[in-house]
Amino acid sequence: MNDLTNKVILITGASKGIGAAIAKRLGRAGAYVIAHYGSDLAGAEEATAEIPEDRKKLISAELGEKREVDRLWREAQSWRGQIDVFVNNAAVMRTKDIFNSDDEWDQVWDEALSVNVLAPARLMRSAVRHYEKTGGGILITLSSWAAQRGSGSPDLIAYSASKAAVMAATKTIARHYSKGPRCRSNPDVRRLCSLVRRRRGRHRRTGNEGMGAS
């Protein structure tokens, strides 16, 4: 991975899975890491254990709440005064038998749309506004193979639809803002080592699953 000294990077869902792995790798590369977590403080602490205290900040926020989403961005930005890279990773995936229960159907859909679509979109808007003021930045969204072809399980209908939606939202931002020098956006990411690599123009890559909203 490239040297990321002095780069400030916000990662959502950094307490487990891909998000935790990203936090570890970025920390080893010298970045200032802002690790978001929902309720799994222990997981976030473990993921950032190797990072010196002055190069990491852990922020808990419930992504299903708009005020919490806005607070997450404010606290993240105020820590070092800027954010160079936003890694849009957090997501929820429920595997309940939702086709046989109206209540569970509504619950799973509401949560998937709130956490996997509305919260990331709100954070991406904040990132774009910030990058316009600072002269540019990197926006990365981790999607899922299920967004490309649908899931093999009907119980993952909400998850698949939500990951397709956030992927489309990210690509829409990329198509507009990556045309100029003020904002560079990567719609998808395939390899961890490409997470913070600046390139010119738009990128088209296959997404990975981003699990770790807790």
Burial of 52 (0-12, 13-18, 19+ CB in 10 A): exposed
- Which residues in the chain show pLDDT less than 50? 181-214
- Residue 179: the pLDDT is 60
- Tell me, yes or no, if the pTM score tops 0.75: yes
Q: Mind telling me the catalytic residues?
A: 159
Which pLDDT score, from 0 to 100, does residue 156 have? 86
The domains of the chain, with CATH numbers, are: 8-92+117-144+172-194 (3.40.50.720)
Q: What is the pLDDT of residue 146?
A: 74
In this prediction, residue 162 carries a pLDDT of 93
pLDDT of residue 197: 34
pLDDT for position 175: 87
Report the pLDDT value the prediction gives residue 126, as an integer from 0 to 100.
Answer: 97
Residues 136 and 131: their CA atoms lie apart, in Å, by 4
> How far apart (Å, rounded) are the C-alpha atoms in residues 88 and 104?
26
pLDDT at position 153 is 81
What percent of the chain has pLDDT above 90? 64
The CA–CA distances, whole Å, from 61 to 13, 35, 36, 39, 73 equal 10, 11, 7, 8, 10
Tell me the two tokens of residue 92. 């929820």
The Cβ-side half-sphere exposure at 79, using a 13 Å CA radius, reads 24
Q: What is the pLDDT of residue 190?
A: 34
